[in-house]
Amino acid sequence: MTQIRNALQDASSREAPRAYGDNTPQPVRSLRDWLDHLAARDRLVVLGPGIGLRFELAAIAKRLDGVRATLFPRPGGHPIPVVSGLVSDRAWMADAMGVETGEVLSRFRDAALHRIPWRETTSAPVHEVVHRDVDLARLLPLPTHNEHDGGPYVTAGLMITRNPRTGAQNGTPTCSSRWRSRVAVRSRRRSSSALTR
């Protein structure tokens, strides 16, 4: 796992090691730290490069869901890796949050009711690479899960959107790519609003 971490993150951006004897549960603050956490507990499978994006990747991820998370380096020849099953068990969610399993729901509820204020910015690292002529299949490793799906889709891609009429914010868990440069978004307003009531 250290090899993956070193390839993806420089040493200056890592958190300082914890003090000896400090066994207080701590939340995991980065994807790389979470992958390290899972690997140290034998909960991560790193597959070989080149796993097919049409049915193969999804079949492997489904088979291991709830047992182990999966990391697919260079799926379908893409330079961007795919991860799956990162929090497919409530105990794993508790580990990631640094709480006991029985505290997960109350902590989620507390976070939903006491949101961290956001601030809009005109300059951010995400703006450093902007694609105008977009071909999603070329840019991203988008898997096709089942033979009857309308096309490739991302099951846990998170997009934060705002309704232009009401200003209400929506989190979107599923988006599919059926066209070269557009995605279809499935918004589940009812399920996300139930958590914040």
- 26-66, pLDDT tens digit by residue? 889 899 999 999 999 999 999 999 999 999 999 999 999 98
pLDDT score recorded for residue 126: 78
Are 82 and 2 members of one domain? yes
Are 138 and 48 members of one domain? no
pTM above 0.75, yes or no: no
Mean local confidence (pLDDT), 87-91: 88
Read off the pLDDT band of 193 (50, 70, 90). Answer: very low
Query: Does residue 157 belong to any structural domain of this protein?
Result: yes
Say whether pLDDT at 153 is over 70: yes
Q: Hey, what are 153's tokens?
A: 């889709």
Are 96 and 135 members of one domain? no
Range of the domain at 53: 1-10+25-101
Query: Does residue 44 belong to any structural domain of this protein?
Result: yes
Query: Does residue 84 belong to any structural domain of this protein?
Result: yes
Say whether pLDDT at 190 is over 60: no
pLDDT score recorded for residue 18: 54
pLDDT score recorded for residue 121: 82
Are 97 and 44 members of one domain? yes
Query: Does residue 125 belong to any structural domain of this protein?
Result: no
Mean local confidence (pLDDT), 112-119: 85
Are 96 and 142 members of one domain? no
Are 78 and 144 members of one domain? no
Report the domain count for the chain.
2
Are 161 and 90 members of one domain? no
Mean local confidence (pLDDT), 130-156: 82
| Of the residues 57, 86, 101, the one at which a domain ends | 101
Residue 162: beta bridge partners?
Answer: 169
Closest among 164, 160, 159 to 175, alpha carbons compared: 159
Query: Does residue 197 belong to any structural domain of this protein?
Result: no
Query: Does residue 118 belong to any structural domain of this protein?
Result: no
| 174-176 β-sheet, strand order | 153-154, 174-176, 184-186
Are 170 and 88 members of one domain? no
Are 89 and 135 members of one domain? no
Cβ 60 vs Cβ 70: under 8 Å: yes
CA distances from 62 to 11, 54, 85, 122, 128 (A): 33, 14, 8, 39, 34
The lowest-confidence range among 53-67, 73-87, 118-132, 146-160 is 146-160
Are 4 and 74 members of one domain? yes
Say whether pLDDT at 10 is over 60: no
Are 154 and 77 members of one domain? no
Closest among 171, 161, 163 to 191, alpha carbons compared: 171
Are 156 and 65 members of one domain? no
Residue 176: beta bridge partners?
Answer: 153, 184
Query: Does residue 121 belong to any structural domain of this protein?
Result: no
The lowest-confidence range among 2-16, 51-65, 77-91, 167-181 is 2-16
pLDDT score recorded for residue 16: 55
